Amino acid sequence: MDETIDGEVIHVVGPDERDDYDLEPALASLAESRYIVVCRKGGRPSWAERVWAFLRRRPIEPVTLVTDAAVEEGQEITATAEETAVAGVYDVTELR
């Protein structure tokens, strides 16, 4: 089932950088020759949203996307993705 995810890119691991990271084997095989993108789900939070998340003791949720397209850190993205067998990891079908 496809899900739309809006997020701010926190970190990108390119296909040629994968060996520098200790990736879970299931994620490594899913991301073979693709980009691993870690996002802050919901986009860039405002100052008030950060304070409110801290006071409620609910951290801002990160999400990991696996995509064919290269993106840059700090970029706001909207992705259509399918959840994978790896918890918190999504396979991107469309990136905007």
CA distances from 34 to 5, 9, 28, 39, 48 (A): 18, 16, 10, 16, 35
- The DSSP bridge partners found for residue 55 are none
* Segment 54-87, tens digit of pLDDT: 888 877 778 999 999 999 999 999 999 999 999 9
The DSSP result for 14-25, as a single string, is -GGGGGGS---H
Does 94 have pLDDT greater than 90?
Answer: yes
Does 91 have pLDDT greater than 80?
Answer: yes
pLDDT at 44: 76
pLDDT at 20: 93
CA-based radius of gyration for the chain: 14
The H-or-E segment that residue 53 falls in is helix 47-55
pLDDT at 28: 93
* Segment 11-52, tens digit of pLDDT: 999 999 998 999 999 999 999 999 999 998 877 778 888 888
pLDDT at 41: 83
